[in-house]
Amino acid sequence: MENKDPKTGTFLVGNTSARPGSRKGARNRLQGNFVAALSDHFEEIGVAAIDIVFKESPKDYLKIIASVLPREFILEDGRLESMTDEEISDHLAEIRRLKTSTLGQDRSGAGSGAIPTSERKQAPLLQALPKAKRLS
């Protein structure tokens, strides 16, 4: 007869069966040891391994990045918080003006009096935003 609780099926305290199971905390200890060994290994060759993956398999490199990053990435920018309501209103008006002039150009084509894209002046808020760096 196995020393199990008939209602829950769990082993009773003091179970002396032939297979007593793992000691308490063994799984946590194994996971902790594995993570520590992985961390040590990464410190030794991690940067070189990342560089090799980047050069030999850019697709896998991007998959690794995507798997490590959180699904939702929140980028906080405090520039709007420091602006007054009037400054925000001015920037919105400029964005709306640019949007309207762009739509006018797209609909009527050349000769419509719309400012060509190459000659347009960027709104100050758009100029303040950082440009994305290209990977080469």
* 18-70 residue pLDDT tens: 565 666 777 788 888 888 998 999 999 999 999 999 999 999 999 998 888 88
pLDDT tens-digit readout, 56-113: 999 999 999 888 888 887 777 777 788 889 998 998 999 999 888 876 665 544 444 5
**Cross-strand partners of 11:** 4
Q: pTM here?
A: 0.34
**Inter-residue contact 39 to 47 (CB < 8 Å):** no
Positive or negative, the Cα torsion across 115, 119, 121, 127?
positive
